[in-house]
Amino acid sequence: MQLSSFAISIAIANIALVSADASNYWKAFTSQIDPKNITVPSIPATTSLNPTTECTYYNPDESLIVINATEWPSIWDVATSNNMDTSPEFLALYDSLDWANAPNISVRKLTSDGGLDFTGYDSSADPDCWWSASVCVHPKLADVSADIINCPEPETWGLTYDDGPNCSHNAFYDYLQEKKLTASMFYIGSNVLDWPYGAMRGVLDGHHIASHTWSHHYTTTLTNKEVLAEFYYTQKAIKLATGLTPRYWRPPYGDIDDRVRWIATQLGLTAVIWNLDTDDWAAGVTTTIEAVKQTYDDYVEMGTNGTFATSGNIVLTHEINNNTMDLAIDYLPKILSAYKQVIDVATCYNISYPYFEDIEWTNVLNASTAAAAASSVASSSVAASGSSSASAAAGTVTAAGAQINQSATSGASQLLPSALFTLVLAAVALL
């Protein structure tokens, strides 16, 4: 009895996934969280400003989030771990992709000290648009989403924080809230399962939530199956904790090439890189806090000395630890004076639908404040345009915008038989 109903539910799950197409993979995710009506449970870990108290593990309230560890990859291990590469849902997704169209680009190797091994790779020609080799951001492969690297408007600081959510970050999130700042937050799937209330708070505070993979490996060193699992289970975790499935992601260490871009594109994910790197993670680790302050000082100066007179930046910063968060709090007032705008990436690109769900980006999802926020944010319906033939050239403001238009639909355009193409475009246009 139990066995057969289990078999039936697996069969239904498979049919739901296989009969649809991979661009609908996110529809099978479940969540009890309404992203427009989040209340973060008031427990010491979410309210205290004492790092020890904040970092006390909690079991999430089961009416909000149920985590069954047997159904997830191991925390901080590659997302194929814990047999997740053979779960029916993952296999259904894997099998629905047209791997014959995937580029035949080698899986990279690590050196003995854990860095990337460039042996045998022609970094100057960079045939695979491997960012780590040449800072390449204009894919050489057709039909993949080009990376976003800077906010297009002049004297604009694109505010991004990587590696959350985590414990002991309440003071930092309070500060951002007090300054009415929203950032693009690139969340690690493993951290989302460890600290789901942190992810809920990110959405409640109006931040733009995006993916930063499950286990923070160099993605070009992972097999196709591993890369797919890193994306898939992070999407699933963010959905579980926030009710939202991101359309944007950031490769750990910026490590991306056209093979990884192709897999990301199949899942409707576009990469967000940066054009300024504070190296803040190194403060107190491999360099001094003073050295990172000098970098911040330079980037502040660039806000007024003409560097960003015609287009803005996206800056790599982290919420990892007290050093990185204190540096952020120290410098944000100076950044706010030096730049005309300090905004998250969804806002700087007028991305109306940064998630798959039918929820328009208004900066603040909080239903009671959304209307007010919407009036201060351009609401051009980027994802809803239905344009699938946007110019592939990137590098200018216009072309980068066109790429975003394309990214909202390209997953569908590559996965479907042409007969279904028009239908799905229509469906995508309603998202």
Ligand X SMILES: *[C@@H]1O[C@H](CO)[C@@H](O)[C@H](O)[C@H]1NC(C)=O
Is residue 163 near Zn ion by the rule CB under 5 A? yes
191 or 220: whose CB is closer to ligand X? Answer: 191
Q: What gap in Å lies between CA 383 and CA 349, rounded to an integer?
A: 11
- Residue found by looking up tokens 């603040």 in the block: 364
Given its phi and psi angles, is residue 7 left (phi above 0), alpha (psi -120 to 50 degrees) or beta? alpha
Which long-range CB contacts under 8 A does 52-57 form with residues at least 24 apart? 54/167, 54/168, 54/169, 54/170, 55/167, 55/168, 56/167, 57/194
Residues between 5 and 44 that touch ligand X (CB under 6 A)? 34, 37, 39
Give me the amino acid identity at 280: D
Site string for ligand X, 70-109 (x = CB under 6 A): xx--------------------------------x-x---
Q: What one-character DSSP code corresponds to residue 109?
A: E
Tokens representing 370 are 């959304």
Q: What one-character DSSP code corresponds to residue 339?
A: S
Q: Which of 128, 162, 205, 257 is catalytic?
A: 162
- The residue count for binding ligand X (CB under 6 A) is 48
CB 123, min distance to ligand X, A: 17
Q: Does the annotation mark 162 as catalytic?
A: yes
Stretch that binds ligand X, among 90-98, 132-140, 242-250, 397-405 (CB under 6 A): 397-405
Is residue 252 near Zn ion by the rule CB under 5 A? yes
Q: Give backbone dihedrals phi and psi of 69, rounded to 5 degrees, phi first.
A: -60, -25
Tell me which of 26, 349, 356, 361 binds ligand X, using CB under 6 A.
349
- Residue found by looking up tokens 């069954």 in the block: 68
Residues between 37 and 56 that touch ligand X (CB under 6 A)? 37, 39, 49, 51, 55
Q: What gap in Å lies between CA 77 and CA 347, rounded to an integer?
A: 33
CB 242, min distance to ligand X, A: 14
Q: What gap in Å lies between CA 121 and CA 126, rounded to an integer?
A: 8
Q: Can you give the binding site for ligand X, defined by CB under 6 A?
A: 34, 37, 39, 49, 51, 55, 68, 70-71, 104, 106, 152, 163, 166-167, 171-172, 188, 191, 204-206, 298, 301-302, 305-307, 320, 322, 325-326, 329, 349-350, 364, 366, 368-369, 378, 382, 385, 387, 397, 401-402, 404-405
Q: Can you give the binding site for Zn ion, defined by CB under 5 A?
A: 162-163, 252
Give catalytic residue positions. Answer: 162, 318
